[in-house]
Amino acid sequence: MMTYLKDYNNYLKKKIAYVPIGTLEWHGNHLPIETDYLVAVKICEILAKKDKGYVLPPIYLGTDQERKVNNKKYIGMDGKLGKELRGSLYYVKPQLLYSILKSLVENLSRQGFKKIYIVTGHAGSKQIETLKKLEKDLKELTFLNPFENLNYHVGHADEHELSLFWACYPEEIEKSKKIKIPSSDDYINYKGYDPREKASLKLGKKLLDEIIKNLSFLIKY
C-alpha cells in the first residue's frame, strides 16, 4: 500500500492508527509462512473501513517461548516438535519487541495519532504477554487480540487458523487444497491429521465475523 501525504493528512484527522503485527513462521505445508501477519493486515483493513484510520505496513517480527529439548534451545513451535522448522524468521527477544513497538507508538503519538491499535496475528504466550505490558505502559495504545473471547480455539496452523486464513484470502483456497502433502509432513506427524479435511470457508467466515464484532467494541475515538 502506498500513502501519499494528502492521504496521510486525511488519516491523521481521524487520529486513529492500526498496526498489524504477525510473524514469518512455519505453518506446515498447507499455509504460507506469512499467515500471521497476513491475517493481522486483513483484520486491520476491515476495522479501518468501519472506523477510519491509517493501517501501517505489517511488522513481521515477534517473540515466543524458548524451550530446551535434549539440551538444545528451540523457539516456539520448534520447541514443541523438537526440531528446527523451515520458515521461522521472526524471533526477537521480548524486550527488543517491546522497545521497537514502544518507539513506533511514540512516533505515531508525536505525529498526532491519539488512538493506536495493535492487532497481532501471532498468539504465542510471550507475544501476548509483551503486548499486554506495552498496552499497560502506553495510554495511547490498545492491544487487540483477535483470538480472545472466541467460541473456537484457534491453534497453530490447525483447521481453525486455516479456515480463518481462507476467509481473509479466499483466492488462496484452491491453491492450498491442491498442495500435495506427504505422510511424513511435520504438521501431520504433530497433529495426526491433515487440517484441510476439517477446514472450510464457512467456518472461517464465522471466525472472522466474530473477531471483527469483538474487536469493534474496543475501538474508541
- The third-level CATH classification (topology) of the domain covering 8-216 is Rossmann fold (3.40.50)
Residue 183 has pLDDT above 90, yes or no: no
Q: What single-letter amino acid sits at 40?
A: A
Mean pLDDT along residues 89-115: 97
Q: Mean pLDDT over all residues of the chain?
A: 95
Domain ranges of the chain: 8-216
Please give the pLDDT value at position 102. Answer: 98
Please give the pLDDT value at position 65. Answer: 94
Q: In 112-158, where does DSSP find H-type helix?
A: 125-137
Please give the pLDDT value at position 9. Answer: 94
φ/ψ of 73, rounded to 5, equals: -85, 130
Please give the pLDDT value at position 70. Answer: 87
Residue 1 has pLDDT above 80, yes or no: no
Burial class (CB in 10 A: 0-12, 13-18, 19+), 19: buried
Q: Of 159, 104, 115, 129, nearest to 12 (Cα)?
A: 115
User: What is the distance between the alpha carbons of residues 18 and 144, in angstroms, rounded to a whole number?
Assistant: 10
Please give the pLDDT value at position 221. Answer: 65
Residue 4 has pLDDT above 90, yes or no: yes
Residue 41 has pLDDT above 70, yes or no: yes
Instruction: Give whole-number Cα distances, 212 to 63, 105, 124, 153, 218, in Å.
Output: 24, 23, 20, 16, 10
Share above pLDDT 90 across residues of the chain, in percent, rounded to a whole number: 92
Mean pLDDT along residues 166-194: 94
Biggest CA pair distance of the chain: 56
Residue 208 has pLDDT above 70, yes or no: yes
User: What is the distance between the alpha carbons of residues 182 and 13, in angstroms, rounded to a whole number?
Assistant: 52
Q: Provide the 8-state DSSP code for 85.
A: P
pLDDT tens-digit series, residues 188-198: 999 999 999 99
Least confident of 69-73, 118-122, 190-194: 69-73
Share above pLDDT 70 across residues of the chain, in percent, rounded to a whole number: 100
